[in-house]
């Protein structure tokens, strides 16, 4: 109850032995050698079985909250109030470009209208605006993004 969560890391200096114990529980769980009673007990207190997945989901939830507040998912790394989230968003775009993002995560991000290429996003907004005005011209594009990937 002191920290309000069960996501203990072995790198936490103040709780190193607890973190090592948590790592052992995770390894046993993955190997299917943890008793169902132990699993049930750990689940009942919100034990985090996969810290990386947990962190990704927490960041995704923060991005959803950001979108609800701001109407978009384009969090800047330079935004002092959201610097960590902006860095996470940049990491997702980089992972996507490197084909290192799972299809489930891509689908989750697509579900909230996440833009993978900010330059394309800017152009698409401009294209929609111009189309509504009847003035779309191919040469009006002002973005030098590499469109060979499309």
Q: Model pTM? A: 0.69
pLDDT in tens, 25-37: 999 999 999 999 9
10 Å Cβ neighbour count for 20? 13
Residue 131 CA from chain centroid, whole number: 33
Evaluate the CA torsion angle 65, 69, 72, 75 in order and state its sign: negative
DSSP one-letter code for 148:
T
3-class SS of residue 137 = coil
Q: Are 101 and 140 in contact, with CB atoms under 8 Å apart? A: no
The residue among 103 and 11 whose pLDDT is bigger is 103
pLDDT on residue 83: 95
pLDDT on residue 124: 58
3-class SS of residue 17 = helix
The residue among 130 and 127 whose pLDDT is bigger is 127
């Amino acid at each position: 109850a002191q920290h309000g969560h069960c996501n203990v890391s072995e790198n936490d200096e103040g709780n190193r032995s607890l973190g090592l114990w948590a790592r052992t529980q995770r390894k046993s769980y993955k190997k299917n050698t943890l008793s169902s009673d132990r699993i049930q007990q750990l689940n009942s207190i919100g034990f985090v079985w996969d810290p990386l997945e947990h962190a990704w989901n927490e960041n995704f939830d923060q991005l959803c909250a950001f979108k609800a507040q701001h109407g978009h998912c384009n969090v800047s790394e330079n935004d002092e109030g959201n610097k960590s989230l902006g860095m996470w968003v940049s990491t997702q775009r980089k992972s996507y470009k490197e084909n290192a993002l799972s299809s489930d995560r891509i689908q989750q991000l697509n579900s909230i209208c996440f833009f993978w290429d900010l330059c394309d996003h800017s152009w698409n907004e401009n294209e929609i605006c111009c189309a509504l005005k009847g003035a779309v011209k191919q040469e009006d594009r002002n973005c030098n993004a590499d469109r060979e990937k499309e």
